[in-house]
C-alpha cells in the first residue's frame, strides 16, 4: 500500500512552469544586487540555538523550528522529565540574525564597508493559514560599516530596488522613504514627550491604511492623550504633501522650535532624496512619505517601503532602513548598516494568483528536435549539438512515439520551435523548422539552421490562427 505523497502544510511548492517564472524573478533580483557590487553570502539553514536565540522569550522564539538528529532525539526522549534542554540547532527565521552572526564571526576577514546580498529561505513555525508560509524566500541586501557608515549608502538602496522592479515588470511602483530621526524630532518639536513616541508612531504608521479621523481620534483620545490641536498639526504635517517630496521637505523646514533631531533628520532625508535622484531614479517612482514609520526599535534613520501602484492591498513589498548596530549580541565592535528585504515567496504567489505573473508562456527550451525516423538518431544528435553550441536550450525527443504525441509534448512544454528532419529533408539538404506559436513551417538549408532559428526566436510570438 503506497504512502500518500504530500507536501507539508505552509510551504509553496511550484510546478515546473511556475518554478521557472519564480527562478527568473530571483535571477533578476540577484542581477540587480550584483549590478551594485553586492557580494553573495549563504549561511547554513540552521544555527546553534544559543547563538540564534540571544533574546529569549521573544515573539521569534515562539515561532522557531528546532532541529534534532535521530540520536539527539532519542537521548532527549530517554532523559528524565524536567531535565529538558532546548535542542542544539534551530532553523533561521530571518536573514538578519545570520548576517549579524556572520559579520561578527568573520569580522577580520571581511572588507568594510561590507556589501552583501543573501537570497535564501527562512522558516517560521506558524500556524498554517492562507498567505502565511512556514518556509519562504527572503532576498536581502545590507551595507555594513565598521564604526561609521556614510549616508551615501542610504541613497543607493532605493536605486538598487528601482532597477530591480523596473526590470521585473510588475507595473508601476513607488519607493517611499522617510527618516525616523526626523519623525522623533518632529514629535519633540511639537512638544510630545518621549514616552508617548512609540504609541504616536504606531498610529502614524496607519496613515494611508485607515481613515484620518479615526487615527486623529485615537491620538487625541485616552490611549495616547495628545492635545487635539497637536494631533491635528502632526497629521497635517505628515500628510499634507503626500506625493510632493519637495513640498514636504519645505514644510518641515518651517516647523517652529526645531530640535536637533528634527534638523539632523531633515538634513539626512534631504541628502538621501537628492542622492537617490542623482543615481537616475525617476521622481515618479521615488517619494518622501512622512507617514512611514516601520518597526519601532531597530531602525534609527532612513526607512523605506515599496508599493505596487496598481496593487496597494499587497502592502509594502520591499522594506528596510538604517540601523545603528547590527551585531551587539555577538561583538563589541560597532557595526552600523542599511539594508532592505524582498519577501519573494509571498510576492510571487500573490502576483501569480492575480495573474500579474503569467507562468503559462515560459519555456525552458528554445527548440525541440523531433524523432521522425529512428535511423536518423545521429542526425538529430548532431542538429541539437550544433544549436546548443550556439547557446540555445535544446531537447531531442527520445522516444520513438508518434509525431502527434511528440507535438503534444512540445505544446505542453511551450517550446517555441520544433526541428523536423526525415530522410526526405536530409536527402534534400534541408531541415524543417516549425514555429509552434504561429503554426508556420519553414524549409531551411541545413547550413543555415542556427541563423534561421535565431531569427525565428527573435520574432514576437504571434498566436496560431
Please list every residue from 85 through 144 that binds a copy of itself, using CB under 8 A. 86-89, 91, 100-102, 104-106, 109-113, 115-116, 121, 123, 125, 135, 143
CA dihedral 201, 202, 205, 207 (to 10 degrees): -100
With respect to a copy of itself, which residue has the nearer C-beta, 313 or 332? 332
Footprint of a copy of itself on 262-301 (CB under 8 A)? 274-275, 278-280
* Contact yes or no for 419/368 (Cβ under 8 A): yes
Q: Three-state DSSP class for 436?
A: coil
With respect to a copy of itself, which residue has the nearer C-beta, 280 or 463? 280
The minimum distance between CB 3 and a copy of itself, in angstroms, equals 5
Q: Is 381 in the site for a copy of itself (CB under 8 A)?
A: yes
The minimum distance between CB 181 and a copy of itself, in angstroms, equals 19
H or E stretch at 63 = none
Considering only 45-53, 182-190, 248-256, 421-429, which stretch makes contact with a copy of itself by CB under 8 A? 45-53
With respect to a copy of itself, which residue has the nearer C-beta, 113 or 264? 113
With respect to a copy of itself, which residue has the nearer C-beta, 50 or 236? 50
50 CB-near residues (< 8 Å, 6+ apart): none
Give me the 189-228 binding string for a copy of itself, x by CB under 8 A, dash otherwise: ----------------------------------------
Q: Is 58 in the site for a copy of itself (CB under 8 A)?
A: no
129 CB-near residues (< 8 Å, 6+ apart): none
Quick one: which of 59, 84, 193, 194 contacts a copy of itself (CB under 8 A)? 84
Footprint of a copy of itself on 151-190 (CB under 8 A)? 151-153, 155-156, 159, 163
Q: Is 242 in the site for a copy of itself (CB under 8 A)?
A: no
Q: Is 446 in the site for a copy of itself (CB under 8 A)?
A: no
The minimum distance between CB 287 and a copy of itself, in angstroms, equals 19
Considering only 54-62, 178-186, 217-225, 258-266, which stretch makes contact with a copy of itself by CB under 8 A? 54-62
Quick one: which of 300, 331, 432, 446 contacts a copy of itself (CB under 8 A)? 331
* Bridge-based pairing state of the strands 417-420 and 430-435: antiparallel
Helical H segments across 221-297, by residue range: 228-239, 245-253, 260-278
Give me the 20-39 binding string for a copy of itself, x by CB under 8 A, dash otherwise: x--x----------xxxxxx
Question: How far, in Å, CA of 211 to CA of 350, rounded?
Answer: 25
Considering only 260-268, 303-311, 313-321, 360-368, which stretch makes contact with a copy of itself by CB under 8 A? 360-368
Quick one: which of 96, 189, 287, 371 contacts a copy of itself (CB under 8 A)? 371
Q: Is 14 in the site for a copy of itself (CB under 8 A)?
A: yes
Site for a copy of itself (CB under 8 A): how many residues?
119
* Contact yes or no for 433/453 (Cβ under 8 A): yes
Total Cβ atoms within 10 A of residue 286: 23
The minimum distance between CB 224 and a copy of itself, in angstroms, equals 34
Q: Three-state DSSP class for 116?
A: strand
Q: Is 44 in the site for a copy of itself (CB under 8 A)?
A: yes
Q: Three-state DSSP class for 174?
A: strand
Question: How far, in Å, CA of 113 to CA of 35, rounded?
Answer: 17
* Contact yes or no for 53/90 (Cβ under 8 A): yes
Q: ω into residue 113 within 30 of 0, thus cis?
A: yes
With respect to a copy of itself, which residue has the nearer C-beta, 135 or 205? 135
Q: Three-state DSSP class for 81?
A: coil
* Contact yes or no for 272/133 (Cβ under 8 A): no
Considering only 65-73, 178-186, 210-218, 428-436, which stretch makes contact with a copy of itself by CB under 8 A? 65-73
The minimum distance between CB 128 and a copy of itself, in angstroms, equals 11
Q: Name the packing angle between helices 260-278 and 180-189 (round to 10°).
A: 150
The minimum distance between CB 139 and a copy of itself, in angstroms, equals 14
* Contact yes or no for 90/52 (Cβ under 8 A): yes
H or E stretch at 40 = strand 39-40
Quick one: which of 198, 250, 296, 377 contacts a copy of itself (CB under 8 A)? 377
Instruction: Return the closest-CA partner of residue 177 out of 248, 240, 117, 115.
Output: 248
Footprint of a copy of itself on 391-430 (CB under 8 A)? 392-396, 398-400, 409, 412-413, 415
Is the C-alpha dihedral spanning 372, 376, 381, 386 positive or negative? negative
With respect to a copy of itself, which residue has the nearer C-beta, 102 or 323? 102
Taking CA atoms, 170 is separated from 161, 162, 304, 349, 354, in Å, by 13, 12, 19, 13, 11
Quick one: which of 25, 29, 47, 187 contacts a copy of itself (CB under 8 A)? 47
Amino acid at each position: 500500500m503506497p504512502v500518500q505523497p504530500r507536501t507539508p502544510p505552509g510551504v509553496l511548492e511550484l510546478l515546473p512552469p511556475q518554478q521557472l517564472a519564480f527562478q527568473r524573478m530571483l535571477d533578476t533580483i540577484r542581477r540587480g544586487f550584483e549590478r551594485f557590487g553586492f557580494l553573495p553570502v549563504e549561511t547554513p539553514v540552521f544555527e546553534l540555538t544559543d547563538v540564534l536565540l540571544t533574546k529569549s522569550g521573544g515573539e521569534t522564539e515562539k515561532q522557531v523550528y528546532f532541529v534534532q538528529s535521530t540520536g539527539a532525539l532519542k537521548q532527549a526522549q530517554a532523559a528524565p522529565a524536567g531535565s529538558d534542554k532546548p535542542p542544539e540547532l534551530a532553523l533561521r527565521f530571518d536573514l538578519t540574525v545570520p548576517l549579524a552572526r556572520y559579520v561578527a564571526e568573520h569580522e577580520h576577514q571581511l572588507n568594510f564597508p561590507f556589501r552583501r546580498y543573501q537570497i535564501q529561505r527562512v522558516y517560521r513555525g506558524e500556524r498554517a493559514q492562507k498567505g502565511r508560509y512556514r518556509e519562504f524566500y527572503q532576498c536581502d541586501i545590507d551595507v555594513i560599516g565598521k564604526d561609521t557608515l556614510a549616508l551615501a549608502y542610504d541613497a543607493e538602496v532605493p536605486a538598487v530596488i528601482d532597477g530591480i522592479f523596473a526590470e521585473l515588470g510588475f507595473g508601476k511602483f513607488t519607493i517611499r522613504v522617510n527618516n525616523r530621526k526626523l519623525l522623533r524630532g518632529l514629535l519633540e518639536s511639537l512638544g510630545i514627550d518621549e514616552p508617548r513616541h512609540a504609541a504616536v508612531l504606531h498610529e502614524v504608521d496607519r496613515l494611508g491604511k485607515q481613515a484620518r479621523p479615526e487615527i486623529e481620534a485615537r491620538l487625541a483620545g485616552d490611549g495616547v492623550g495628545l492635545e487635539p490641536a497637536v494631533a491635528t498639526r502632526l497629521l497635517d504635517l505628515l500628510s499634507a504633501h503626500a506625493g510632493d517630496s519637495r513640498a514636504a521637505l519645505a514644510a518641515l523646514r518651517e516647523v517652529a522650535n526645531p530640535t536637533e533631531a528634527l534638523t539632523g533628520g531633515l538634513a539626512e532625508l534631504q541628502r538621501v532624496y537628492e542622492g537617490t535622484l542623482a543615481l537616475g531614479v525617476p521622481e515618479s517612482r521615488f517619494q518622501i512619505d512622512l507617514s512611514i514609520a516601520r518597526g519601532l526599535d531597530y531602525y534609527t534613520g532612513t526607512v523605506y517601503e515599496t508599493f505596487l501602484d496598481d496593487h496597494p492591498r499587497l502592502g509594502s513589498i520591499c522594506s528596510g532602513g538604517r540601523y545603528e548596530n547590527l551585531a551587539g549580541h555577538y561583538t563589541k565592535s560597532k557595526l552600523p548598516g542599511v539594508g532592505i528585504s524582498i519577501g519573494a515567496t509571498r510576492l510571487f504567489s500573490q502576483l501569480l494568483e492575480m495573474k500579474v505573473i503569467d507562468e503559462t508562456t515560459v519555456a525552458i527550451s528554445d527548440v525541440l528536435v523531433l524523432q521522425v525516423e529512428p535511423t536518423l538518431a545521429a542526425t538529430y544528435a548532431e542538429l541539437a549539438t550544433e544549436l546548443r553550441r550556439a547557446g540555445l536550450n535544446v531537447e531531442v525527443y527520445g522516444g520513438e512515439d508518434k509525431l502527434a504525441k511528440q507535438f503534444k509534448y512540445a505544446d505542453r512544454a511551450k517550446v517555441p520551435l520544433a526541428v523536423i528532419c526525415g530522410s526526405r529533408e536530409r536527402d534534400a539538404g534541408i531541415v524543417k523548422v516549425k514555429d509552434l506559436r504561429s503554426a508556420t513551417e519553414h524549409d531551411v538549408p541545413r547550413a543555415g539552421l542556427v541563423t534561421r532559428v535565431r531569427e525565428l526566436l527573435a520574432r514576437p510570438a504571434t498566436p496560431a490562427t
